[in-house]
Amino acid sequence: MAQTKVSLIISVYNDLAALNLILKSICRQSFKGTIEVIIAEDKQCLNMQDHVHKWRNQYIFPIKHIHQEDIGFRKCKILNQAIREAGSEYLIFIDGDCILHKHFIREHLKFAQAGRVVYGRRVMLSAFLTRKLIQLQKLYFLNFFILLLTACKRLDAGLFLSNSKPIEKIGFWGHNWSIHASDIKLVGGFDESYNKAGIGEDTDIEWRLQQKGIKFIRIKNRAIQYHLYHKSNYPDTKSVEEILAHKKNRFQSGDHSVLQGSLQ
């Protein structure tokens, strides 16, 4: 293994039942090194502290919990705080509605290298299967046969293929990717000026890392996630798209300061 310790950063907003399933999936990981879990909460959920206390007693992996006041979308800010808190040089970022395949962390670490982003894909679970998982809090439903029978989508991403080759390719999403801490600090982490979902936590930082020469490796069918169904919560992203477009224009004009995020 390239690393013996990893910090798994989970961005969370107001969904304790989903987070409980994610922690169950972390517990069954085939990776044998130390997993540090950081719950990065863009809110301060009323019952979260009680749950974190229970989980710390329940699981053998260490759990850190950071949170901030709920005054609008500030995911990038809490992710920067999570980077500061991380005790490992290698960071994996996931969203708080994505359950992990048992080999998820192992496969990320298998392809981890300095100067490289590793990213995977996810199966989109149906509303019916999501309700079952939330109600029963059992992971045995997550097998390919049940996914097929319950009308889940993007099933091609749900087949674990141990011999599939990684592909050098850009186009990652913020729910399933990993990087060395030194590489993400190279661009100053996330840009906290994004106040809506959809671009700041993935497209923006992807562009800035790419300009610094960081390579992107897709490991579809190896780092697998199962995305719990919910209605789309992405608002009109025009305003945040304009932020990135403006940064790119400034960069083309020679202003390379736009490559730096907000991490101090």
- Band (pLDDT 50/70/90 cuts) for residue 148 is very high
Q: What is the pLDDT of residues 173-190, one digit of tens each?
A: 899 999 999 999 999 999
| φ and ψ at residue 243, rounded to 5 degrees | -60, -45
More confident residue, 241 or 125: 125
Strand partners, 92: 8, 178
Query: Does residue 199 sit within a domain?
Result: yes
Query: Does residue 264 sit within a domain?
Result: no
Residues 102-127: what's their mean pLDDT? 97
Query: Does residue 127 sit within a domain?
Result: yes
Tokens 């979308």, residue located: 73
The token duo for 58 is: 């329940």
Kindly tell me if the per-residue pLDDT of 41 is higher than 80: yes
Dihedral sign computed on CA atoms, order 227, 228, 232, 238: negative
Residues 184-200: what's their mean pLDDT? 91
pLDDT confidence of residue 197:
83
pLDDT confidence of residue 234:
64
Q: CB 74: neighbour CB atoms within 10 A?
A: 18
Residues 25-54: what's their mean pLDDT? 93
pTM of the model: 0.95
pLDDT confidence of residue 2:
41
- Band (pLDDT 50/70/90 cuts) for residue 68 is very high
pLDDT confidence of residue 235:
65
More confident residue, 243 or 43: 243
Kindly report each contact of residues 144-152 with a partner whose C-beta sits within 8 Å and lies 24 or more positions away, as own/partner: 147/123, 150/125, 150/126, 151/126, 152/123, 152/124, 152/125, 152/126
Average pLDDT along the chain: 94
Total structural domains within the chain: 1
pLDDT confidence of residue 4:
65
Find the domain containing 62 and state its range. 5-259
Secondary structure of residue 201 in the 3-state scheme? helix
Query: Does residue 85 sit within a domain?
Result: yes
The token duo for 8 is: 């798994």
Query: Does residue 137 sit within a domain?
Result: yes
Kindly tell me if the per-residue pLDDT of 73 is higher than 50: yes
pLDDT confidence of residue 258:
96
Kindly tell me if the per-residue pLDDT of 1 is higher than 80: no
Quick one: which H or E segment has residue 251? helix 238-252
pLDDT confidence of residue 14:
83
Query: Does residue 244 sit within a domain?
Result: yes
pLDDT confidence of residue 3:
45
- Band (pLDDT 50/70/90 cuts) for residue 146 is very high
Quick one: which H or E segment has residue 241? helix 238-252
Strand partners, 78: none
Share of the chain above pLDDT 90, in %: 84
Conformational region of residue 189, where left means phi above 0, alpha means psi within -120 to 50, and beta covers everything else: left
Supply the CATH number for residue 180's domain: 3.90.550.10
pLDDT confidence of residue 184:
98
Query: Does residue 183 sit within a domain?
Result: yes
Query: Does residue 168 sit within a domain?
Result: yes
- Band (pLDDT 50/70/90 cuts) for residue 198 is confident
